Amino acid sequence: MLDPGNRPDTVARGSLPVVDLAGSRALITGATGGIGIAIARRLHGAGATVLISGRKAEVLDGLAGALGERVEVLVADLADREQVAALPGRAGKVDVLVANAALPASGQIAAFEPDEIDRALDVNLRAPIMLARDLAPAMAERGYGHLVFVSSMSGKAASPGSALYSATKFGLRGFAQGLSEDLHSVGVGVSTVFPGFISDAGMFHDSGVKLPRYIATRTPDQVAKGVVKAIESGKLELDVAPFSLRAGTAVASLAPAALAAIQRRLGAHDISADIARGQADKR
Q: What is the pLDDT of residues 119-163, one digit of tens each?
A: 999 999 999 999 999 999 999 999 999 999 999 999 998 888 889
**pLDDT average, residue stretch 217-221:** 86
**pLDDT average, residue stretch 61-84:** 98
Alpha carbon 16 to chain centroid, angstroms: 19
pLDDT for the residue 11: 40
Any domain includes 260: yes
Closest to 145 in 3D by CA, of 134, 159, 135: 135
CA distances from 61 to 30, 55, 72, 138, 176 (A): 14, 11, 9, 28, 31
Which CATH number goes with the domain that contains 145?
Answer: 3.40.50.720
By three-state DSSP, how is residue 65 classified? helix
- The pLDDT-based confidence of 243 (bands split at 50, 70, 90) is confident
Q: Which of 134-138, 196-200, 246-250, 270-274 has the highest mean pLDDT?
A: 134-138
Position 191 pLDDT exceeds 70: yes
Position 179 pLDDT exceeds 90: yes
Position 6 pLDDT exceeds 50: no
Any domain includes 235: yes
Closest to 220 in 3D by CA, of 37, 13, 52, 24: 37
Position 256 pLDDT exceeds 60: yes
DSSP 199-259: -SSSHHHHHTPPPPTTS--B-HHHHHHHHHHHHHHT-SEEEES-HHHHHHHHHHHH-HHHH
Any domain includes 189: yes
Any domain includes 3: no
Q: Are strands 49-54 and 25-28 parallel, antiparallel or unpaired?
A: parallel
Query: In angstroms, what is the C-alpha Rg of the chain?
Result: 18
CA distances from 91 to 33, 158, 167 (A): 20, 34, 29
pLDDT, the chain, mean = 84
- The pLDDT-based confidence of 244 (bands split at 50, 70, 90) is confident
Say what angle helices 256-265 and 268-279 make with each other, to 10 degrees: 80
Any domain includes 4: no
| Residues assigned a catalytic role | 165
Any domain includes 7: no
- Which one has a higher pLDDT value, 62 or 203? 62
Any domain includes 2: no
Overall domain count for the chain: 1
Q: Are 172 and 192 in contact (CB under 8 A)?
A: yes
Helix then strand then coil, in percent of the chain rounded to 5, is 55, 15, 30
**pLDDT average, residue stretch 108-121:** 94
Kindly give, in sequence order, each residue whose CB lies less than 8 Å from that of residue 95, ignoring residues fewer than 6 positions away. 19, 24, 25, 26, 48, 139, 144, 145, 146
Give the structural domain span for 163: 12-282
Position 32 pLDDT exceeds 60: yes
DSSP 99-150: E-------S-GGGS-HHHHHHHHIIIIIHHHHHHHHHHHHHHHHT-EEEEEE
Any domain includes 183: yes
pLDDT for the residue 88: 98
